[in-house]
Chains A and B, each alone.
Chain A
Amino acid sequence: MSDLHVVLAVARKDLLHELRSRAATVATLFFSAVTLVMMAFALGREQHVLTLAAPGVLWVALTFAGVIAAAQNFQADLEEGAFEQLLLYPVPRAAIFLGKLLANWTYLTALGLLLTPVAIVLYSVQAGAGAWYVIPAALVLGTFGLATIATFYAGLTANLQAREALLPVLMFPIIVPVLLGAVRATEAVLGRSELDLAGGWLQMLAGFDLVYFVVCTALFHFVVDE
């Protein structure tokens, strides 16, 4: 049994679970849609304000969705002692983490791909040159960083009574560099065409993703074991 099979088995199980229960889907879609619409109303009709705000609002919606999705993912496992059973299998903790990360990342990327065109239309933003590849790159890298940190901290707080309050409190200070890189890279190609600037932010985003990925994967066993 290779570790890759374990990763894929855990990811498949999590995605199947979400597909059927829709526990996170309903909450995240509703929350994200409400965030985008309410902020569009709140910002008024000044086009330059909408253009400036669109990337930030999009990534705030995705960040909160990431918190909800990761928390729901662990909550579902805890219901019948299934996560405890998962930890009894003779498989590396890192493989379990990567499986859960893969499921959360896939989910958040799909959500991002759904929300981005909605935000572009809702905020009447013109996509600049290079947007067709910068925005997908920012989505893939940004959601990867988000999913990595959300999965790690959701595991850390899963058994705590105040997990709903603690998860965002612990996670948000850590997520700032990812959020900054993703927002700035998106901003550089919405209403503008500053490809050099976008490239720099994407590189920074990739760097933070790598650091968080290595650290969270290496430390996950401390999170789930005594």
Chain B
Amino acid sequence: MTDTPAIQLNGLTRRMGNQQVLRGVDLEVAPARLVVLRGGNGAGKTTLLKVLATRLRPTSGSARLFGFDVLKEQAEVRARMGMLSVMGGSYPVLSAHENLSMAADMTGKDRQQVGALLERVGLAEAAHKYVRTFSSGMKKRLGLARLMLVDPPLWLLDEPYAALDDAGKQLVDEVVSQARARGRTLLMASHESDRDALTPDAVLQLHDGRLRRAPEEAP
């Protein structure tokens, strides 16, 4: 199954109300690659990630992750991907530790890792504080820790650098590099240009719902 692309999109379109957000997106990403997706506000980056995450249905065309159709095989798809969303996705009235423990419960991961992960993302001292007291950057770090805990084969990162200070951005670079070294596939939508620490396998431009560059070619 090593030849199966991690991501395979054929003529993918998505309409939101009267607006055509994605217009025939074709993309193929081999496993263990890092692909950066650029584009202005409203270009369709988040919509594309949400289609891959099974949260939005394609209007037409097809999307497959590791050979599994995002429409027809959603359970298989969800078992192979995780997403860091812009909003963070944490419960405000639970502590950081409780939020990660919940993620561990939902994915069958070991709760013992939670403390070490919070320390890794710089939230050890805030581990037992409610998330509603966190800054946007701290919430982003917690979301990153959740993704590290679940550690799925495919990481979908929606603006992972947003709201982070320099140390936080460096942390994202390190975590992404380590995930890539472990063979994870990463698709990152980001406005941050030229992160020196990262050398993506492909940088794609999404403009007006279309991918401007040719799909990544596997070596």
Instruction: Enumerate chain A interface residues (CB-CB to B < 8 A).
Output: 1, 5-6, 9, 13, 16-17, 20-21, 76-77, 79-82, 84-92, 225-226
Contact = CB atoms under 8 A, between A and B. Distances in A.
Contact of A79 (B56, B82, B92): B92
Contacts of A77: 91
B94 A80 contact: no
A13 B102 contact: yes
B205 interface: no
A21 B106 contact: no
A225 B77 CA distance: 14
Contacts, number: 78
Contacts of B28: none
**The 5 nearest A-B residue pairs measured at CB:** A85-B89, A81-B87, A1-B108, A9-B105, A90-B79
Contacts of A76: 91-93
Interface of A is mostly: helix
A63 B153 CA distance: 45
B36 interface: no
Contact of B92 (A5, A80, A86): A80
Contact of B90 (A16, A80, A88, A91): A80
Interface string B51-72: 0011111000000000000000
A82 to B, nearest CB: 5
Contacts of A17: 91, 93-94
A91 B104 CA distance: 12
B131 interface: yes
A89 B94 contact: no
A91 B103 CA distance: 11
Given A87-B55, A88-B53, A226-B57, A82 B90 contact: yes
Given A16-B94, A16-B98, A79-B92, A6 B105 contact: yes
